[in-house]
Amino acid sequence: MLIERNDLPERFFDVEAHDLYRILPGPTLIHLPGRRSEPLFVSILLHGNEDTGLKAMQTVLQKYRAQMLPRSLSLFIGNIAAARNGLRRLDNQPDYNRVWSRQETEPELPEHQLMQTVIGNMAARNVFASIDIHNNTGLNPHYGCVNRLDDAFLHLATLFSRIVVYFTHPKGVQSEAFAALCPAVTLECGKPGGAGGVEHAASFVDAVLHLSALPSHPVANHDLDLFHTVAVVKIPEHISLSVDNTAAELNLKADIDYYNFRELPPGTGLAMTSSNGTLPVQAWDEAGNDVTSHYFERQDNALVNRRTVMPAMLTRDAGVIRQDCLCYLMERLSKKH
């Protein structure tokens, strides 16, 4: 059940993510007034092991502790139970960044209803813009993600980084749901615990709070490196996985996350495999088509890419790989479509 309040809880400014449960019993939406009434919406901790959003908002709100915010702010603090355990999500939970909309084939969960309550609340408040703050577990640059190739969305994203990723899958993400209401962006702020990610996210949120409007003219080409997610790569549950040279059907390279945001020529070795001749990964395009053999093949005992690809979100964290995916594959968009 959603908790709503119009003030920050005591100890908000010094609490760590794993201790949030001591001051907030569950997912909480906090509304704070500002000089401009249309609120900025910020969501944090949709994944409980990604604490940059909390630290960034502590930084921003500490600045305005004794003065009014430039714009009203609605802060959604998501998976507090998973944060208590330092996990992306608990085993009995859905992913909090996959339940903001529901596909017809999915059963309706309490989390779907909770997020719909948040969306309805913010629609009624005429939300100005939406920011969803995340970390990732591999080596990635800071970048923004959008679900629409709209000028206002791209301007919002490039205020954070010139690197912008456009994606339409997976479904059910926060930014896609809020894209129907306002310009929306997901921030990827590097690994949790990095001071640079906290500072970058905090300065971005503060800048957006000061905006009176978002530009409607196109972003200049020299200010934008735009990529499009074309496939998601997963490892079937029955395939054993290793990232530390132990025996497994799929043994990822020790430095696999160094491949993020690098164009990999065909034949680049990604892992060693002993999966009896079958490909130990599965790839799907945006339409849900199996494109595994389009992108991957075996060469002797190595898993390699068949064509030039640029991955994102490769990680050495086997738990995250199992709960989410191995990576996303991207292609560069030379201009806005």
Topology given in CATH for the domain delimited by 3-223: Aminopeptidase (3.40.630)
Gap between the Cα atoms of 216 and 93, Å rounded:
39
- Which residue carries 């749901």 as its tokens? 177
Per-residue model confidence as pLDDT tens digits over 261-300: 999 999 999 999 986 678 999 999 999 999 999 999 999 8
pTM > 0.85 = yes
Gap between the Cα atoms of 220 and 207, Å rounded:
20
Residue 336 pLDDT exceeds 70: no
Residue 12 pLDDT exceeds 50: yes
Gap between the Cα atoms of 40 and 240, Å rounded:
44
Indicate the domain borders of the chain: 3-223, 229-333
Q: Which of 210, 187, 149 is nearest to 42 (CA)?
A: 187
What was the pLDDT predicted at 337? 47
Gap between the Cα atoms of 149 and 129, Å rounded:
15
